[in-house]
Structure 1
Amino acid sequence: MDHEEQTALLAPSPEFLATVPVFPLIPAIKKDAMKTIDSALTWDQLTDSALNFSVVRPLVLKYAKLKNMAVVYACLVVRAYFLEESDGNLAYAGVMLSRATLCEILAMKLLSHFASNHIELVAVLTTSWSPLAGAPPEAVEEVKQVLGSNANVNDAESALEMAISTQAKQFISSPVSQKVVNDIYSGRVVFSTAATRSMLADNYKPRGITIYDSRDAPFLDHYRLRVPKYGAILEFLNFACLLVTLVLCLSNKDHEKVTFWEGLFILFAAAFVLEEYTASAEHGWIIYIANIWNAFDTSFCVVFLCYVGLRINGITYGHLGASAMAFDVLSCGACILFPRLAFFAVSNNVVVLSLRAMIVEFIFFMAIAMICFSGLLFTLWTLAKDGNQDIPEKDKWTLANIAWLMVEIWFGNTYLSFAQAESFHPVFGPFLMTTFAALSNTLLLTILISILSNTVARIDANATQEHLFQFAISTIEGVKADALFSYQPPFNLLALATLKPASYIVTPRTLHSLNVLLIKITSFPILIAIGVYEKYFAAGQILRESSKDAAHTLFNSLPRQIKNIPLIEALVGSTSSNLYEAIFEIDAPPVEGLFEESDEEEFPQLRSVASHDTMTSAAGVRRRTSRVKTRSPLRGDRSPLRPLSGLDVGVSSAEVSSGGRSPLARFFAQVEPPSTPVEASVRRMETMLDDLRDMPVHRLKDEMRELQERQARIEQLLLTLTRGMRTSDTSSKHK
């Protein structure tokens, strides 16, 4: 049986997922969110216990009853709507953000309702849902009219992709979501999606969601190349190869011709650009650029394309200056590749996580500063142009020279502002340059440092969320549907040149066979390494477990003096944890005599309030008084509704237990010693039966029976009196 066709541990079928209605959920959630939230509330206020119980929980229960697997996706779609509304409607931005936050909370809590079934949970997060699924035809037509005739209304996304695009970091960092993300990253969960925006689509055999088992999988499984854990290792190796070829290219450059190392670098770099373009096209630019590392990769792609353009111009037309400029531009690419390779080891550092936000804040602030000081630049250029007519034209200040002087002053060379001030104008020059130096070095740089410090502090407070957010992005990017992602650079160029033209000619089945064959040929050593690791060395495999057992056996055979050496104990680990685990793994025999007999008899049970009060106040006389027959209320002994608290509680429980045993207990007492477990069990059973007789229900039945008997006696007495009166009246009439 083909491994791809195995149906064990499958998620809901694609046919069933295609019938799940999505569109009706979106307006319903939007309506409930608008009806519920009318004021600006923060995350802490919305998650407060009182507000959560009165507002959030009823909505969660309402939509959880539907058991619709697309409800999490619908909540995130509505969140995207409210976020867009908050940007366009500033008057109600706070309210819109609160409603968006409510949608994220609903998505988190609704996701937990699917956590009992792991396969179903994975399907909820990874299935590509179409927002118009289940919509009436007239609604679909209206959407097409709004978007236009050329719009794609079947553009589907998964819940994880929607969470990334809407910056739902709380949702992504929740334990339920991270459980799925970790399983996808490690390759324990395997699934594939249909490619819709791919450079090379291979949709012949879409795979359902399965739990991967290396014992049933083929040895050369080409689908393991898409596991994000292995993809991260291969990506590091690809970057290392690209960096080595870059260094060799710059070390052996020739302006007149293309050397071997330069050609090899161009081959690797072109394959890298193709991979990044395919990634951005597959998942969209928003999700692609949300990863901080993709910003570095895009920058290097721009540098490489500029280098190629200048290099082609220099070689084609013989312009050595263009070729020299091409290598100079390429040298700038080393500023990106070197830290990009180093960031693989420190990707979880808070400084690295905040680097992207700091760069954005810095660029934004510098752009505002440039706009503010553009007027000063024009003023200084005008003063220098018209001030000193005796200065030769070549010695006058140009616009570029003034701009560079302002940049030097901005970054700390304040003495230049005083040395060159009079060269612009004898009166206004010193005043303008002193004002600029004071603003740039004292005020604006202080503001810039404060902004960057606040950015780092904000991300440091949410460093875990930011790391998990970036981890989810890289994981989703690793599970790509494009067939080119199974090829390692530069073989993706070969696959594109071979399979892309073939996709227009051959059938989908033939294309799939060619794709699998080419993947196994080009990645043969990598597939062997992955197969050997997963079959023998991965967690839970036989070879690893046997070697671990052998190591533990060797360690246990050592003398205690060697075991207690601090260095060996630190390397191997303390044996106390093994002892604790062993205690809980065994079936402990029952221990007799640990608790007193009275504690066993008085083990807490669920009782009503009245029975609890009765049992605590009259435990000793309960059994004896329950056997006493209640006398008739007509005899004047007591009222039938007399409470049990009026009973005599002067007899102790010891007296009752010693003298009031049942015949069954006495019978077993003759067979077994008094201290045997059989007698204790019989005694507990007798006590439970006596307690059952004294329950309020039985007392109420006895009292109702007494009332009925009393009513019958009264009716009998009245009937007797009535008959006597009738007899006396009849006799008087006859007289």
Structure 2
Amino acid sequence: MDHEEQAALLAPSPEFLSTVPVYPLIHALKKDVIRTIDSALTWDQLTASDINFTIVRPIVLKYAKLKNMAVVYACLVNRAYFLEESENDLAYAGIMLSRATLCEILAMKLLSHFASNHITLVAVLTTSWSPLAGASPEVIEEVKQVLGSNANVSDAQSALEMAISTQAKQFISSPVAQKVVNDIYTGRIVFSTVATRSMLADNYKPKAITIYDCRDAPFLDHYRLRVPKYGAILEFLNFACLLLTFVLCLSNKDAAQMTLWEVVFIIFAVAFTLEEYTAATEHGWIIYIANMWNVFDTSFILVFLCYVTLRVKGLSNGDLESSEMAFDVLACGACILFPRLAFFAVSNSVVVLSLRAMIAEFVFFMTIAAICFSGLLFTLWTLGKENWTLKKIAWLMVQIWFGNTYLSFGQAESFHPFFGPILMTTFAALSNTLLLTILISILSNTVARIDANATQEHLFQFAISTIEGVKTDALFSYQLPLNLLAFVVLKPASYIVTPRTLHTLNVFLIKATSFPILIVIGVYERYFASGQSLRESSVDAAHTLFNSLPRQIKNMPFIEALVGSTSSNLYEAIFELDDPTGPGLFDESDEEEDVPRLRSVASHDTLASADGVRRRPSHVNLAPRLPHRTISPGPQGSPRRRVISALDLGVASAEVTSGGRSPLSKFFTHVDPPTGAGAGQGHVEASMRRVETILDDLRDLPVHRLKDEMRELQERQARIEQLLLTLTRGMRSSDTGTSKLK
């Protein structure tokens, strides 16, 4: 790559990004969206061709001319505003949701204007923008007064983070956005942002947005530990170690004293808790909880905290019962840890996504049902408190809810001889017939909805995990439980040493604690990753060996299914020939006669000879002939039709060579003047007859039919207006008569 190409790939400097106005852009977009959308429209209606060309396209072109890199972020900020307004103002909720949808569509279309430069595209999506950038000091002071003196007005977010927090799934699943997300996930794009909410921030040397090249990077590159692709593998190994220590802790439990495996498990669990808390602090609770698996991790952390509380109480007081209860509570964590490890490999499949959504709907429905039947629980307890306790009644109701209907009839009279059977029969009918049917319908609709939008949901969860993987907190570069060591050493040092010294100490600890991992990553990226010489040579050797096999072996079904059909290679080789040799299928003269095309013809003024005498062509075509339809690649490699402007046409012609000359061409065709006097009069008469013939031909042109249709439409419109006027007069007369009667 030469110097010019390398300079074209450079990311915008931090100084330039700090001068980008964001605050005026947000309010300008808000005004245009409010002025444009004043009715409730769906996504399909907003993306229809008429709405797109009349509403969306003018706004996109207006803001694309600014070339402001924060325009996508501003669209998503407005989406967040309109979504909040839809919840606060229910009367205009439909309009607000339509405006929020329009903001997402604008963000998608404006993002494509930055797709020509990949580094700029990455900067648009990953740069943390401050919403008050470009605002006046008076505006900033007013915002501080509204939010309070302790509010952080410099809190910045990227466009991808705003898309996640606003549930802009269409935007995230767009091909342009997914290109950036995939490059970030695989580590092809490397960047780091300034940490503002980290537990341990190392902002001394922020890494600019660059395209990673292993040939220029150091062999032990500690930044590769923050690549989401490698982070997912390391997270799986850390979770497997946590699960292993969990099983060994419960297998060797001792209520009287702590065992070695219990101590190891507590260390791993505390390190896991610190990692999850740091992730929630770094990206905010909204983005953290948007990943459903983080809910499971948080649930296990709560179980672990309950276990630690009961275990400390039991050991300090010598209470064996509390210690036993602590292990019982910890055993319940297996219901979370085992499925969590199993779902690591298939965390974003359609089945898991459907199961996760069904669990959420089921919990919500059961919570509503429990609240509704709490009144019946209190009623039964009031009627039968002599024979029943509140706990027994609740357990009886749970049994009836899940199918033991005969219990409702057997125990009904024990509550009350008259009201007992009525209440228990009503509860059994509602729980086993009505509410159970509703629950099944809700879960079926949830599965159908997830199945229809499985791709968007999968890409949305993939974007969340990718953004969580690119974390700027220094603790994320350490593996469990070494992050506890880094926290104990570096956190107190951050208050004492300079940022440069803290950065040096942090890099030394990362390389010392992750030395084997960095060696494995370095060897993989230099020799075994996609595009490296060793892997390419191995693939070429395998293809050479396959091509050397006999035809009978290559056509075996198993070998063909394993390697692939050779016909695909044949088709690929055919299309690699851009200019095939040999005679053409059609003759050039026949092609010119049969295919109408646009052709530029020189004017009379340009046909002057060298001696200054202007010469005319033999014939001048006034109707342009249509060109051959050539396909040229677009900026992103997609084919597009070649657009021929008016400058390319010059003096156009109107003759279509596939048939006879048109009436216009006959009328305007230049004819040589006669030479003789008698021939002049004959020529005039012939010209007059030709003009009459041409005028008769002009009557058959579509222009006259168009005029007739326009005249018919005008008459129809007049009749409709007359009918409306008559109806209006009738309504006025009826209103007048009614008022007189009153």
TM over 0.5: yes
CA shift digits 1:440-479 (9 cap, x unpaired): 1111111111111111111111011000000000000000
Tell me by how many angstroms 1:586 deviates.
Answer: 4.2
Letter of the 2:492 counterpart: P
Distance, in Å, in 1 between the alignment partners of 2:346 and 2:409 is: 44
Distance, in Å, in 2 between the alignment partners of 1:476 and 1:508 is: 26
Matched, 1:612 2:666: no
The TM-score with structure 1 as length reference comes to 0.83
Q: 1:384 to 1:210 in 2, by over 3 A?
A: same
On the 8 A contact 1:631/1:637 being kept in 2, the answer is no
Distance, in Å, in 1 between the alignment partners of 2:394 and 2:466 is: 45
Q: 1:643 to 1:563 in 2, by over 3 A?
A: farther
| Mapping of residues 89-104 of structure 1, within 5 Å | 89-104=89-104
Letter of the 1:234 counterpart: L
Partner in structure 2 of residue 342 of structure 1: 342
Letter of the 1:65 counterpart: K
On the 8 A contact 1:128/1:159 being kept in 2, the answer is yes
| Mapping of residues 212-231 of structure 1, within 5 Å | 212-231=212-231
Q: 1:517 to 1:639 in 2, by over 3 A?
A: farther
| Mapping of residues 536-551 of structure 1, within 5 Å | 536-551=527-542
| Mapping of residues 436-475 of structure 1, within 5 Å | 436-475=427-466
Partner in structure 1 of residue 285 of structure 2: 285
Distance, in Å, in 1 between the alignment partners of 2:690 and 2:395 is: 98
| Mapping of residues 244-393 of structure 1, within 5 Å | 244-385=244-385
Partner in structure 1 of residue 725 of structure 2: none
Partner in structure 2 of residue 121 of structure 1: 121
Distance, in Å, in 1 between the alignment partners of 2:676 and 2:211 is: 74
| Count of residue correspondences | 633
Tell me by how many angstroms 1:599 deviates.
Answer: 2.6
Tell me by how many angstroms 1:582 deviates.
Answer: 2.5
| Mapping of residues 195-214 of structure 1, within 5 Å | 195-214=195-214
Q: Secondary structure of the residue that 1:360 maps to in structure 2? A: helix
Q: 1:13 to 1:647 in 2, by over 3 A?
A: farther
Partner in structure 2 of residue 173 of structure 1: 173
Q: Secondary structure of the residue that 1:613 maps to in structure 2? A: coil
CA shift digits 1:335-382 (9 cap, x unpaired): 000000111122233231133332332222222212221221111111
Matched, 1:552 2:566: no
On the 8 A contact 1:614/1:645 being kept in 2, the answer is no
Distance, in Å, in 1 between the alignment partners of 2:373 and 2:562 is: 61
Q: 1:583 to 1:502 in 2, by over 3 A?
A: same
Q: 1:366 to 1:627 in 2, by over 3 A?
A: closer
On the 8 A contact 2:289/2:295 being kept in 1, the answer is yes
Identity across aligned pairs (percent)? 78
Distance, in Å, in 1 between the alignment partners of 2:564 and 2:55 is: 49
Partner in structure 1 of residue 566 of structure 2: 575
Greater Cα offset, 444-453 or 201-210? 444-453
Q: Secondary structure of the residue that 1:199 maps to in structure 2? A: coil
On the 8 A contact 1:8/1:210 being kept in 2, the answer is no
Q: 1:647 to 1:348 in 2, by over 3 A?
A: farther
Tell me by how many angstroms 1:281 deviates.
Answer: 0.2
Q: 1:305 to 1:631 in 2, by over 3 A?
A: farther
On the 8 A contact 1:633/1:639 being kept in 2, the answer is no
Partner in structure 2 of residue 130 of structure 1: 130
Matched, 1:190 2:204: no
Distance, in Å, in 2 between the alignment partners of 1:321 and 1:11 is: 62
Tell me by how many angstroms 1:633 deviates.
Answer: 12
Greater Cα offset, 156-165 or 425-434? 425-434
Distance, in Å, in 1 between the alignment partners of 2:185 and 2:287 is: 17
Distance, in Å, in 1 between the alignment partners of 2:686 and 2:35 is: 53
Distance, in Å, in 2 between the alignment partners of 1:31 and 1:310 is: 57
Letter of the 1:487 counterpart: Y
Distance, in Å, in 2 between the alignment partners of 1:217 and 1:336 is: 40
Partner in structure 2 of residue 596 of structure 1: 587
Distance, in Å, in 2 between the alignment partners of 1:398 and 1:249 is: 37
Distance, in Å, in 1 between the alignment partners of 2:378 and 2:61 is: 65
Distance, in Å, in 1 between the alignment partners of 2:693 and 2:40 is: 64
Q: 1:258 to 1:632 in 2, by over 3 A?
A: farther
Tell me by how many angstroms 1:404 deviates.
Answer: 1.2
CA shift digits 1:65-89 (9 cap, x unpaired): 1110000000000000000000011
Tell me by how many angstroms 1:408 deviates.
Answer: 1.1
Partner in structure 1 of residue 147 of structure 2: 147
Partner in structure 1 of residue 22 of structure 2: 22
Greater Cα offset, 626-635 or 598-607? 626-635
Distance, in Å, in 1 between the alignment partners of 2:28 and 2:475 is: 40
Distance, in Å, in 1 between the alignment partners of 2:62 and 2:578 is: 44
Letter of the 1:609 counterpart: A
Letter of the 1:68 counterpart: N
CA shift digits 1:669-708 (9 cap, x unpaired): xxxxxxxxxxxxxxxxxxxxxxxxxxxxxxxxxxxxxxxx
Matched, 1:40 2:52: no
Partner in structure 1 of residue 632 of structure 2: none
Tell me by how many angstroms 1:585 deviates.
Answer: 3.0
Partner in structure 2 of residue 690 of structure 1: none
Matched, 1:485 2:476: yes
Matched, 1:505 2:519: no
Partner in structure 1 of residue 59 of structure 2: 59
On the 8 A contact 1:633/1:640 being kept in 2, the answer is no
Distance, in Å, in 2 between the alignment partners of 1:633 and 1:142 is: 94
Which structure is larger by alpha-carbon Rg, 1 or 2?
1
CA shift digits 1:200-241 (9 cap, x unpaired): 100011111111111211111111111101111111111111
Tell me by how many angstroms 1:571 deviates.
Answer: 1.1
Greater Cα offset, 361-370 or 111-120? 361-370
Partner in structure 2 of residue 434 of structure 1: 425
Partner in structure 1 of residue 634 of structure 2: none
On the 8 A contact 1:362/1:448 being kept in 2, the answer is yes
Distance, in Å, in 1 between the alignment partners of 2:685 and 2:260 is: 111
Q: Secondary structure of the residue that 2:23 maps to in structure 1? A: coil
Q: 1:644 to 1:272 in 2, by over 3 A?
A: farther
Tell me by how many angstroms 1:129 deviates.
Answer: 0.3
Matched, 1:425 2:413: no
On the 8 A contact 2:9/2:118 being kept in 1, the answer is no
Partner in structure 2 of residue 699 of structure 1: none
Partner in structure 1 of residue 401 of structure 2: 410
Letter of the 1:111 counterpart: L
Distance, in Å, in 1 between the alignment partners of 2:147 and 2:37 is: 29
On the 8 A contact 2:655/2:661 being kept in 1, the answer is no
Q: Secondary structure of the residue that 2:333 maps to in structure 1? A: helix
Partner in structure 1 of residue 467 of structure 2: 476
Q: Secondary structure of the residue that 2:384 maps to in structure 1? A: helix
List alignment gaps of at least 5 residues for structure 1: 1-5, 387-395, 650-735
Distance, in Å, in 2 between the alignment partners of 1:347 and 1:170 is: 20
Distance, in Å, in 2 between the alignment partners of 1:530 and 1:430 is: 70
On the 8 A contact 1:491/1:522 being kept in 2, the answer is yes
Letter of the 1:613 counterpart: E
Q: 1:596 to 1:328 in 2, by over 3 A?
A: same
Tell me by how many angstroms 1:511 deviates.
Answer: 0.8
The TM-score with structure 2 as length reference comes to 0.82
Q: 1:516 to 1:616 in 2, by over 3 A?
A: same
Distance, in Å, in 1 between the alignment partners of 2:214 and 2:689 is: 70
Q: Secondary structure of the residue that 1:295 maps to in structure 2? A: helix
On the 8 A contact 1:10/1:208 being kept in 2, the answer is no
**RMSD between aligned residues:** 2.5
